[in-house]
Structure 1
């Protein structure tokens, strides 16, 4: 499987939380040759199983979420402009004048604002919020707009996937990069463990899909694959970045949703060092992932997180390093081949 090519297709697909169907369709076709069975559950999670090469295997859940942050149409104005709300965490500052695609048909639009020439006083100083913005799809009446777009339709940033040499640019790397790596893991199997690959829904609005999937599967351990914050950018003072591009997968110790199981963290570090794979430890306390829900399922699930650093996540375009993607895939392949119940011994 060409994981980078899969990432490109996933990146360009629309998949705002609760409307992940286009992403799921791509993944179902991509992983079909490599799985023993797959199904879609009540919340839309795609769950695939690759059977183990040995008897009495561990049940290992590896998860990545399909959804992305985006916008939802709430009404059309008399002049045809679309009012919207944010779905997930988007910085209001990056919205004005951005190109978007609206609804199932991908209707092109632009997020409009009051022209700078007409701003007065305090208007020039404050950040414009969603109440000040609208989506212009090129129509001039409410009737025209409502023929094309329905209340509740999602809108995504209109961003092409591009090769930048050692790096790539695209939208929704949080977490289409995790989905692409998980596809690659399935293709590289089988493993000594029974692999439950979960492509989850609705992470960006509360990690909802992963919660029910973990309850259903009841795994022995879980690994979450993510695209995480990289802020290796110029700073006014000397401070360490959260993660950096080109330094390998970022391993979580703690974020706002979970304290990673120390046994699994040590195991991932040992595995990376044994395989000669660079890695970095993500600055503790930043962000949150589906691990926050997974580790609380049933009697508890030992969980860990490995992430590809991505610049500008939750915006119209992100940048990641191809080698970080490859290293994360290699680390997880080695982890699935090397994990055993002894790792969990206390």
Structure 2
């Protein structure tokens, strides 16, 4: 099918490789799409992309950040027989890894491979009942020796990326891809700047693509130090609770029923006044929304809200199925509603409102 502008952006963003520490290709795609709506585009010294759009006033500064990196792997050694041992970059559950296709990005080009292990047919019964651990997995690239793998261009430190082409599903609202965590946040930042290019806003807005979120929120720290915002939003994915066997007390959100407003995660309690403003704005404009809480894990807001004397911050997320795997699914309406909510909130964030929020803590 022919893709519209937004779907084409999704395709290019999600299919670009962007392992933590190797975000260059994903950053190039984000730059391509955000640059027409920015007054300047720069990077910090770790590689986070920072697009600045001036409004009616230089202050306050509003930061909207998605992270460029995706969960991936790194080559750590080549065995004598040409198989690759690897290190996970980000959180991987062993049960979603085996027999999955990957690409190794070498100095000589891209090599295809598959994650393998000892086959279950030869394991004793007790071993078959246990998940294979990452340390017992390897990647098969079809090489027959270490020397052959090296001639292909492989060396330790090369990034390894999951394979999943961007797919519009039979229900065209449902979109499957790798790296939705968190290219959807990057797409929201791009679209927010695009919409604001057509409207007045009483502030300066920074659309940011951070690096190395999956390995410790690192780019969030360097980019917030660079921008020094007055208000910060992390835009990310959240857990969808609408699949079979998912208890509602673990995850309440349903795909297609609006962006998630994160009320708690392991790295941050969101700013109360900013949270209330977001909820009031959603209700005023009849934008559907859902609450989310995440007892484990965190987002870039966990670093951003601690900058300097503190930055009022919160997380707006999109309910997504099967994150931290090769293929995840989200709903296009949630993207559209998240963008509209962010735009309407930003239009309210003038100097007086930000000063009021800083007192409401």
TM-score range, shorter chain: over 0.9
Whether 1:295 aligns to 2:301 is no
User: Counterpart of 2:228?
Assistant: 218
1:37-96 Cα shifts (integer Å, max 9, x gaps): 1111111011110001x2353111111100011111111111111011111101011111
Greater mean alpha carbon deviation, residues 331-340 or residues 155-164: 331-340
User: Counterpart of 1:107?
Assistant: 111
Please give the alpha-carbon distance, in whole angstroms, between the structure 1 residues aligned to 2:126 and 2:81. Answer: 26
Whether 1:183 aligns to 2:193 is no
Whether 1:124 aligns to 2:89 is no
User: Counterpart of 1:76?
Assistant: 78
Shift of 1:325: 0.8
User: Counterpart of 1:232?
Assistant: 242
Paired residue secondary structure (1:106): strand
Whether 1:331 aligns to 2:341 is yes
Paired residue secondary structure (1:257): coil
2:29 pairs with 26, 29, 50, which one? Answer: 26
Paired residue secondary structure (1:7): helix
Once the two structures are superposed, the pairs formed by residues 1-12 of structure 1 within 5 Å of their partners are: 2-12=5-15
Q: Is the 8 A contact 1:3 1:183 kept in 2?
A: no
Q: Is the 8 A contact 2:235 2:315 kept in 1?
A: yes
User: Counterpart of 1:312?
Assistant: 322
Shift of 1:236: 7.3
Once the two structures are superposed, the pairs formed by residues 38-117 of structure 1 within 5 Å of their partners are: 38-52=41-55, 54-104=56-106, 105-117=109-121
Q: Is the 8 A contact 1:89 1:204 kept in 2?
A: yes
User: Counterpart of 2:287?
Assistant: 277
2:217 pairs with 202, 207, 214, which one? Answer: 207
Structure 1: stretches of 5+ with no match in the other structure: none
User: Counterpart of 1:37?
Assistant: 40
Kindly tell me: are residues 286 and 268 of structure 1, through their superposed partners in 2, closer, same or farther at Cα, counting changes over 3 Å? Answer: farther
Shift of 1:215: 1.6
Greater mean alpha carbon deviation, residues 76-85 or residues 233-242: 233-242
Q: TM-score, normalised by structure 1?
A: 0.96
Q: Is the 8 A contact 1:174 1:314 kept in 2?
A: yes
Whether 1:160 aligns to 2:162 is no
Q: Is the 8 A contact 1:243 1:283 kept in 2?
A: no
Shift of 1:287: 3.0
2:17 pairs with 14, 18, 33, which one? Answer: 14
Shift of 1:240: 5.7
2:176 pairs with 150, 169, 173, which one? Answer: 169
Shift of 1:238: 6.0
1:7-65 Cα shifts (integer Å, max 9, x gaps): 2111111101000000011111111211101111111011110001x235311111110
Give the RMSD, CA atoms, in angstroms: 1.5
Paired residue secondary structure (2:282): helix
Structure 2: stretches of 5+ with no match in the other structure: none
Q: Is the 8 A contact 1:3 1:181 kept in 2?
A: no
1:207-235 Cα shifts (integer Å, max 9, x gaps): 00111111222111101100122132122
Kindly tell me: are residues 158 and 237 of structure 1, through their superposed partners in 2, closer, same or farther at Cα, counting changes over 3 Å? Answer: closer
Q: TM-score, normalised by structure 2?
A: 0.92
